């Protein structure tokens, strides 16, 4: 930590409208907690920003005092980039405004908003944009890394729906960027992470979705998983864009539609979201019945907001988490075999392997149109180790790493940057492929001193 004087800290507190927290202050312990409980860091200062002026002052203070700078939106990032040791945290969580323009089909979203905040406002008008699958995720971090979820096969990545942004850059300037203003910055923030500044406002395109979708879970015993995954992969090529189907391998949670004897047993659950006409939902998704004989199924019309929150209980904050991820074009038998083997050695009841289906609209965008470049990925795989006892750290992390290595020969070699853990800085190039050099140029232009480096860092060119 830099040698901060009391006068400097008092000056910062006087200059911002939000609070400035130090260790020992009421609220400090809560404000330094994030979703992943394996991250335990103690910043020197947490600036609880309430608007652009606070963000500019916090960024300037960190720059002027040589402080390591972290930026917190939802605090959901697996690598824990929202919190740093001994530095300054720009805490955007008080900035949660979401304004919907239903006539123009636009949403104006501040960086502290969560997916749940966004959906709450947008669904009041039957509108949505592609986001993630956990309502407590922050909109900002999700978007800056690319963003995908149930609507992506129909409407693309989250960044494909970003129309403009306001960004506080390293020099403290507020820059408005869109397709015709500050083009290199607009290109870079659509997948390049928080490397280029602090976004204080996002403008998204909205689409007619809901208020109900057809969806739910189709659950098979694990012994049927190999055959089901082959059929799933074969069917994916002809699935319409308004069908999104993810596969999750785990121990069955105690869901009410599953018989008690299934609870805690290994299963493969197919999670479905169909955004076409509700009355056509059953017919449009009847191919599910070809995947196998279910031990339980719960499918039908439901509020879109309910489906967006369906997995929240399995992803609640406070547990210890470790991820490893690959992108895949398809699901060959060799990959299925190593996944089945990994499922025989689950180190905790909360661990899972999922294949998130994208493709369709996400693949129709040129790979150089945005910083996010993995347009050939049809599946984003995440091996999600999750547990509660710190004593289980080693076995859970080693399990995830072992499956990651076994799956590597079948992968595309690319990776979704939001799924990289804190020790995977060497894979940043793999996240951006041929786009990396262009990102370095943007970084050199907008953050030549690498102030925004507490992330999956893109280093500027040497001066």
Paired sense of beta strands 296-303 and 266-274, if any: unpaired
Round to whole Å and give the CA distance between 371 and 349.
Answer: 36
For residue 2, the model assigns a pLDDT of 58
Q: What is the pLDDT of residues 347-367, one digit of tens each?
A: 999 999 999 999 999 999 999
Round to whole Å and give the CA distance between 103 and 203.
Answer: 14
Q: Report which of 349, 344, 345, 351 is spatially closest to residue 323, judged by C-alpha positions.
A: 351
Residues of the chain with CATH 3.30.465.10: 98-209+434-446
Round to whole Å and give the CA distance between 453 and 432.
Answer: 17
Residues of the chain with CATH 3.30.43.10: 6-91
Q: Is the pTM for the entire model greater than 0.85?
A: yes
CATH number of 6-91: 3.30.43.10
For residue 4, the model assigns a pLDDT of 87
Round to whole Å and give the CA distance between 98 and 116.
Answer: 11
SS in 3 state form for the chain? CCCCCHHHHHHHHHHCCCCEECCCCCCHHHHCCCCCCCCCCCCCEEEECCCHHHHHHHHHHHHHCCCCEEEECCCCCCCCCCCCCCCEEEECCCCCCEEEECCCCEEEECCCCEHHHHHHHHHHHCEECCCCCCCCCEHHHHHHCCCCCCCHHHHCCHHHHEEEEEEECCCCCEEEEECCECHHHHHHHCCCCCCCCEEEEEEEECEECCCEEEEEEEEEEHHHHHHHHHHHHHHHCCCCCCEEEEEEEEECCCCCCCCHHHCCCEEEEEEEEECCCHHHHHHHCHHHHHHCCCCEEEEEEEEHHHHHCCCHHHHCCCCEEEEEEEEECCCCHHHHHHHHHHHCCCCCCCCEEEEEECCHHHHHCCCCCCCCCCCCCCEEEEEEEEECCHHHHHHHHHHHHHHHHHHHHHCCCCCCHHHCCCCCHHHHHHHHHHHHHHHHHHHHHHCCCCCCCCCCCCCCCCC
- Cα 143–chain centre separation: 8
Structure tokens at 196: 């280029």
For residue 3, the model assigns a pLDDT of 73
Q: What is the pLDDT of residues 109-121, one digit of tens each?
A: 999 999 999 999 9
Round to whole Å and give the CA distance between 243 and 263.
Answer: 28
Name residue 128's beta-bridge partners. Answer: 207
Pick the CATH number of 98-209+434-446 from 3.20.20.120, 3.30.465.10, 3.40.50.300, 3.30.360.10: 3.30.465.10
Pick the CATH number of 212-419 from 3.30.70.580, 3.40.50.300, 3.40.50.620, 3.40.462.20: 3.40.462.20
Q: Report which of 235, 217, 415, 396 is spatially closest to residue 311, judged by C-alpha positions.
A: 217
CA end-to-end distance (rounded Å), the chain: 25
List the chain residues with pLDDT less than 50.
1
């Amino acid at each position: 930590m830099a040698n901060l004087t009391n006068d400097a800290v008092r000056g910062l507190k006087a200059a911002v409208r939000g609070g400035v927290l130090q260790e020992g202050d009421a609220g400090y312990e809560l404000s330094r907690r994030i979703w992943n409980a394996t991250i335990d860091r103690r910043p020197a200062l947490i600036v609880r920003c309430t608007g652009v002026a606070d963000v500019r002052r916090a960024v300037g203070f960190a720059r002027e005092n040589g402080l390591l700078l972290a930026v917190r939106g939802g605090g959901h990032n697996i690598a824990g980039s929202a919190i740093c040791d001994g530095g300054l945290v720009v805490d955007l969580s008080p900035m949660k405004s979401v304004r919907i323009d239903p006539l123009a089909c636009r949403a104006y979203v501040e960086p502290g908003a969560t997916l749940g905040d966004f959906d709450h406002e947008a669904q009041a008008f039957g509108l949505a944009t592609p986001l993630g699958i956990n309502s407590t995720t922050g909109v900002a971090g999700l978007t800056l890394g690319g963003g995908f979820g149930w609507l992506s096969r129909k409407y693309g990545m989250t960044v494909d729906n970003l129309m403009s942004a306001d960004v506080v850059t390293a020099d403290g300037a507020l820059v408005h960027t869109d397709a015709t203003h500050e083009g290199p910055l607009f290109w870079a923030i659509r997948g390049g992470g928080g490397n280029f500044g602090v976004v204080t406002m996002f403008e998204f395109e909205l689409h007619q979705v809901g208020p109900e979708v057809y969806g739910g879970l189709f659950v098979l015993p694990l012994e049927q998983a190999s055959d089901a995954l082959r059929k799933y992969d074969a069917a994916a090529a002809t699935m319409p864009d308004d069908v999104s189907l993810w596969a999750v391998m785990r121990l069955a949670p105690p869901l009410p539609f599953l018989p008690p004897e299934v609870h805690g047993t290994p299963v493969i659950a197919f999670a479905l979201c169909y955004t076409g006409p509700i009355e056509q939902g059953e017919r449009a998704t009847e191919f599910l019945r070809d995947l196998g004989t279910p031990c339980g199924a719960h499918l039908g019309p439901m509020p879109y907001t309910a489906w967006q929150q369906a997995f929240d209980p399995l992803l609640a904050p406070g547990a210890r988490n470790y991820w490893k991820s690959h992108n895949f074009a398809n699901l060959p038998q060799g990959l299925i075999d190593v996944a089945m083997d990994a499922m025989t050695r689950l180190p905790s009841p909360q661990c899972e392997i999922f294949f998130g289906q994208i493709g369709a609209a996400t693949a129709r965008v040129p790979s150089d149109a945005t910083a996010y470049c993995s347009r050939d990925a049809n599946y984003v795989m995440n091996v999600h180790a999750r547990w509660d006892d710190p004593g289980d750290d080693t076995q859970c992390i080693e399990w995830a790493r072992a499956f990651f290595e076994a799956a590597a020969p079948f992968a595309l070699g690319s990776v979704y940057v939001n799924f990289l853990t804190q020790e995977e800085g060497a894979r940043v190039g793999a996240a951006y492929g041929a786009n990396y050099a262009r990102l370095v140029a943007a970084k050199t232009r907008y953050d030549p001193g690498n102030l925004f480096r507490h992330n999956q860092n893109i280093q500027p060119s040497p001066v």
